[in-house]
């Protein structure tokens, strides 16, 4: 019988039959401003208690302190001891700087003796989590070879199946060539496509389900808003 971990968003849990199905990788394919990381914050912050299976947040875009502040906004009862954070962003500022004073690419990391992708694999391989967010896969895609990215996703898939856990990955839509984007969508188990539309009243954000584990794929397109407290989903649904 399938088991689920709450997404941290009640409306989304209902649509998915209880949340993210364990043993799977889910991809949030997001347009700029869609707030994919915020979905990740909800996932990590929901129903979290200190244990040897603490949630894991791996970030290439924000510092550990920034991540903690966002998590705490969503769940005031959360403690730092209850979440594992791997901060790949802060390591580029300011201790490792290129001669130009800008952030380091993965190639510059490698020359310094540090490999972000292998470090991430090492952390995931420990399997000491029930739920994990990688924000963002796009950083690795831009800095590593195609085959290395596919091997990394296959490795993650093996870990979540073995440990009955869930990994949520964000990826920028339109940032990569179509072959890469399509291949990654095939490799993962579920795909949420997040879009931002310009309306007369402002921006409208929507999420639709491109691919899900099992046979049933929700047909709704869901509207949602971003606020200081995270995601607020519209109960009105547009059916495809």
Residue-wise burial string across 116-148, b where 16 or more C-beta atoms lie within 10 A, e elsewhere: bbeebeebbeeeebbbbbbbbbbbbbebbeeee
Angle made by CA atoms 85, 77, 134, in degrees to the nearest 5 = 25
Rounded to the nearest 10 degrees, the angle between the axes of helix 146-163 and helix 116-125 is 10
Whole-structure pTM over 0.85, yes or no? yes
Taking only the tens place, the pLDDT of each residue in 169-227 is: 999 999 999 999 999 999 999 999 999 999 888 889 999 999 999 767 778 889 999 98
> Confidence band (pLDDT; 50, 70, 90) for 48?
low
Hey, what domains does the chain have and what are their CATH numbers?
Answer: 4-239 (3.40.50.300)
Q: How far apart are CA 135 and CA 182, in angstroms?
A: 19
The Cβ-side half-sphere exposure at 48, using a 13 Å CA radius, reads 30
Closest CA to 197 of 188, 187, 189, 207: 207
């Amino acid at each position: 019988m399938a088991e689920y971990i709450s997404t941290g968003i009640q409306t989304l849990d209902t649509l998915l039959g209880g949340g993210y199905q364990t043993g799977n990788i889910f991809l949030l394919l997001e347009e700029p401003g869609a707030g994919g990381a915020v979905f990740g914050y909800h996932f990590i912050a929901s129903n979290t208690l200190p244990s040897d299976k603490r949630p894991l947040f791996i970030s290439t875009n924000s510092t550990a302190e920034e991540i903690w502040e966002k998590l705490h906004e969503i769940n005031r009862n959360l403690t730092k001891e209850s979440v594992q954070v791997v901060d790949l962003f802060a390591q580029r500022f300011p201790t490792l700087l290129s001669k130009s004073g800008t952030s380091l690419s993965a190639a510059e990391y490698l020359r310094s003796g540090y490999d972000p992708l292998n470090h991430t694999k090492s952390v995931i391989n420990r399997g000491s989590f029930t739920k994990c967010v990688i924000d963002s896969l796009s950083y690795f895609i831009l800095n590593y070879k195609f085959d290395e990215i596919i091997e990394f996703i296959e490795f993650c898939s093996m870990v979540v199946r073995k440990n009955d856990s869930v990994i949520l990955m964000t990826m920028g839509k339109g940032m990569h060539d179509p072959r890469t984007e399509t291949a990654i969508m095939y490799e993962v188990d579920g795909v949420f496509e997040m879009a931002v539309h310009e309306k007369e009243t402002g921006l409208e954000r929507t999420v639709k389900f491109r691919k899900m584990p099992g046979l049933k794929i929700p047909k709704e397109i869901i509207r949602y808003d971003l606020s200081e407290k995270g995601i607020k989903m519209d109960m009105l649904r547009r059916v495809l």
